[in-house]
Amino acid sequence: MQRRQKNLLGYNIDLFSVDEALDYSNSLIDSAKSSHIVTINPEIIEYANKHEDFAKILKEAELVIPDGIGIKIGLKINGEDVQRITGIGFAHSLLENAQKNNIPVALVGAKPHVIEKAYENLKQEMPELNIVYKHDGYFKDCKQEVIDGIKNSSPKLLLVALGAPMQEEFIYELKSILPSTLMIGIGGSFDVWAGEVQRAPEIWQKLGLEWLYRTIKQPERFKRIFPTLPLFVYNVIKEKFTKNTAMSECPRSIKTRS
């Protein structure tokens, strides 16, 4: 399956539909090396612009799905009307797919009681799901044990919920340790699956306004989105305008012999 991507401010974003992204994920699970799905948004792009090592992680990801509303707007400005793929929704589909195909799964992240509750709820919802390993996300003092635990249980799918950028850095480290695992960073998804945090009502989700709902419910998130989101959109417009100007100038630079 061929990747079709669009570059926004230096970062390639895959233009798959949800079903295509799931098919592509299955091909990554079947491949003979580990891979990384990034759920990209303006906040992590802003962080990557300030941290070269992190930018490299994003650029080397095997699949980059348009999660943030800012990414959807940025792609639209560039003529691509893609379906937004939320990290939590996509991770849930990956789990359903894992249950259906008996793919071994590992879960790492969130507070100890949260991961336990999320595990119980997932097992109730998907009784055949083969969860081979789980650990909370507060393992600074026993990182090596967690890495060994993941490695020894040989998952083919690993969900990591440490928040960005920590989860992407941890996945990148694991890429060279695990022989063939598909990994995705899923932020606060375990908190939602544990019932600790409510997702936005469906109508907000359908309108693509879940980020706004979460910001209203957790006002401290406001400073994560502003001014990052409008600034991102401004920079995308600026980039497009600059590209167009450069293109329209191009014929004038061709010299002809007289």
Binding site for ligand UDP (CB under 6 A): 109-111, 137-138, 161-164, 187-188, 190-191
For tokens 């879960």, name the residue: 107
Interatomic CA distance for residues 102 and 216, integer angstroms: 39
- Give the CB-nearest residue to ligand UDP: 137
The DSSP secondary structure of 220-238, one letter per residue, reads GGHHHHTTHHHHHHHHHHH
Tell me how far, at minimum, the Cβ of 39 lies from ligand UDP, in Å: 8
Minimal distance, residue 54 CB to ligand UDP, in Å = 14
Q: Are 159 and 115 in contact (CB under 8 A)?
A: no
* Between 46 and 191, CB nearer to ligand UDP: 191
Name the residue nearer to ligand UDP (CB basis): 81 or 220.
220
Q: Between the CA atoms of 88, 110, 41 and 209, what dihedral angle is there, to the nearest 10 degrees?
A: 50
Nearer to ligand UDP (CB atom), residue 182 or residue 192: 192
103 vs 164, beta carbon nearer ligand UDP: 164
Residues linked to residue 157 through DSSP beta bridges, in sequence order:
105, 182
Query: In terms of CB distance, is 99 or 189 closer to ligand UDP?
Result: 189
Provide the minimum distance between the beta carbon of 98 and ligand UDP in the complex, in angstroms, as a whole number.
21
Contact of 191 with 110, CB cutoff 8 Å? yes
Nearest residue (CB) to ligand UDP, 28 versus 159: 159
> In angstroms, rounded to a whole number, what is the distance separating the alpha carbons of residues 37 and 25?
8
How far is Cα 147 from Cα 214, in angstroms, rounded to an integer? 32
Question: Considering the complex, what minimum distance in angstroms separates the CB of residue 46 from ligand UDP?
Answer: 14
Q: In the complex, what is the shortest distance from the CB of residue 91 to ligand UDP, in angstroms, rounded to a whole number? A: 11
Residues 172, 149: contact at Cβ < 8 Å? no
